[in-house]
A and B are shown apart, each in its own frame.
Chain A
Amino acid sequence: MDSPATAIAGPPRDLRGYGGTPPDVTWPGGARIAISLVVNYEEGSEPAVGDGDPEPERALSEVPYTHWPAGRRDLAMESMYEYGARAGFWRLMDIFDELDVKATFYACAVALERNRKAARLIGERGHDMMCHGWRWEDVALLSREEEREHIRLAVASLTETTGARPLGWYCRARPSVHTRELVAEEGGFLYDSDAYNDDLPYWTEVHGKPHLVVPYSLVNNDGGFGNGAFGSPESFAEHLRYTFDQLYEEGATQPRMMNVGLHMRVVGQPARAQALHDFIAYAKSFPGVWFARRIDIARHWMAHHPA
């Protein structure tokens, strides 16, 4: 049976997906694998006492989650986040240029308002941008009305700072039961990435209309440095190589998509950036590898695998 009927709002679960028989995917150029490099641009929009939040951000830094007294700024944490925007961003941009690959930036609107040079450069260097929220916040804590308003604010702000409206959406890791509906109702988004449940894009429905999902990954993600999953930069690169090797092998008959989730304050640290560089160079050494912006994957899917 399908997911049990409950009174709780939100999308139904789908535990079958493609059921072992995915569509015949034909990526451009006959590629066996589409690699989506995703840079999360969050620094400057994270919860901060100086911005009126009751507590400072505690997640995804160089130190484990630790208690901090409410109402007090954590200058060290603020500083660790600043590293991403001040140093990490430029290091990653240089690596993408050097290896001639394009990435997707998950952009928090307020973060780009605070670094307008970076906001312009993302598009100028040929990368694409998705909406990662107004601020880096848990939308599940907002009311439906608040969440709708924050999406509206984010779209307006990103349109102004980057010069183009976002066409894709990804929340801060955990969507609310309303998020997908609100993204569809907003009207200008082609897809969202609020899912971790497949190796390929898929269509779902919102209000009876088709809605495209391009799933993301928290596994192939530098967040693993923050929770002990990756002990060294080499173990991160090794994880990415193993993932690539498996998907590339599968891609000989069934082309796949590989997400790589990155954070400027994390992988922008020199040691980890070097590991990322080495992985990209490794993947580029194979034929039939498509480094794709997410908008390109979404458009390809809409054109070749319509709902």
Chain B
Amino acid sequence: MRLRRAIASIAETTGARPLGWSSRYGASLHTRELLAEEGGFAYDADSYNDDLPVWTEAGGRPHLVVPGTLANSDLKFETGMTGSPRDFELHLKAAFDRLYKEGAARPRMMPVALHLRLSGHPGRTRALANFIRYAKSFPDVWFARRIDIANHWTARHPAAARAETE
């Protein structure tokens, strides 16, 4: 019921229905099933367990998961696990450095999780801007919307193909 209300509300306020889903912190035991039953979702982000999208099953059908992150997340400011804006900036740069290096052989995905009320404060916004400029200074970096990642994955790495290789 709440899922339906959320879809209807966002469709009305933004002019388009949502194609992806992310729960607050984590999903319930039912969330993924409910998304599959509802239909219309290309993927969900209710997972923190990988560096790449993964296919799973929901309601007996393939279901795409594009993992999120609580590590590259401004949530760390709230919990005291990151001290200064510079700490956050260094974290993001280090994550980028590692994944960029690994990406030479095996391209990766780097999620960055932001909250308006946390990263929207000027000092932290500056750290974020510094990171974005840093990442943009390298070739072969794709700043992607999650729907673009999901669509790419569905086209290039469809669920059936994956099943065949296993």
Contact = CB atoms under 8 A, between A and B. Distances in A.
Nearest to B108: A270
Interface in A232-278: 232-235, 269-275, 277
A87 interface: yes
Interface in B46-103: 46-51, 67, 69-73, 75, 79-84, 86-88, 90-99, 102
Most buried by B among A64, A73, A269: A269
A191 B80 CA distance: 37
A141 interface: no
Interface stretch (A15-23, A74-82, A205-213): A74-82
Centre residue among A94, A225, A232, A234 by max chain B CB count within 10 A: A232
B90 A228 contact: no
Interface stretch (B9-17, B22-30, B140-148, B151-159): B22-30
B94 A274 contact: yes
A75 B30 CA distance: 11
B98 A232 contact: no
A275 to B, nearest CB: 6
Contacts of A275: 94
B155 to A, nearest CB: 24
A61 B25 CA distance: 13
Nearest to B46: A75
Which of A75, A82, A226, A228 has the most C-beta atoms of chain B within 10 angstroms of its own C-beta?
Answer: A75
A96 to B, nearest CB: 14
B110 interface: yes
Interface string A65-105: 00000000111110110110011000100100000000000
B148 to A, nearest CB: 21
B48 A87 contact: no
B119 to A, nearest CB: 16
A64 B82 CA distance: 12
A231 B70 contact: no
Contacts of A61: 70
A183 B82 CA distance: 39
Given A270-B98, A274-B94, A232 B49 contact: no
Given A271-B72, A271-B98, A79 B48 contact: yes
A83 B46 CA distance: 13
A138 to B, nearest CB: 23
B91 A273 contact: no
Contacts of A272: 94
B81 A64 contact: yes
Given A234-B90, A271-B91, A271-B92, A63 B75 contact: yes
Given A79-B26, A80-B70, A232-B87, A274 B50 contact: no
A196 to B, nearest CB: 23
Contacts of A185: none
B50 A83 contact: yes
B81 A274 contact: no
Contact of B84 (A86, A91, A231): A231
B27 A76 contact: yes
A228 B80 contact: yes
Nearest to A237: B94
Contact of A274 (B71, B80, B88, B98): B98
B71 A62 contact: yes
A278 B12 CA distance: 50
Interface of A: 61-64, 73-77, 79-80, 82-83, 86-87, 91, 94, 225-228, 231-235, 269-275, 277
Counting from the closest, the 8 A-B pairs by CB-CB distance are A76-B26, A231-B83, A271-B95, A62-B70, A82-B49, A232-B87, A231-B87, A270-B98
Given A234-B87, A271-B95, 18 more contacts: A61-B70, A62-B81, A63-B25, A75-B46, A76-B26, A76-B27, A79-B26, A79-B46, A79-B48, A87-B49, A91-B102, A227-B81, A228-B81, A231-B83, A233-B90, A235-B83, A270-B96, A271-B71
21 contacts: A62-B48, A62-B73, A62-B75, A63-B70, A64-B79, A74-B26, A75-B28, A76-B26, A76-B70, A79-B49, A231-B87, A232-B83, A232-B91, A232-B94, A233-B91, A269-B72, A270-B102, A270-B108, A271-B72, A271-B98, A274-B97
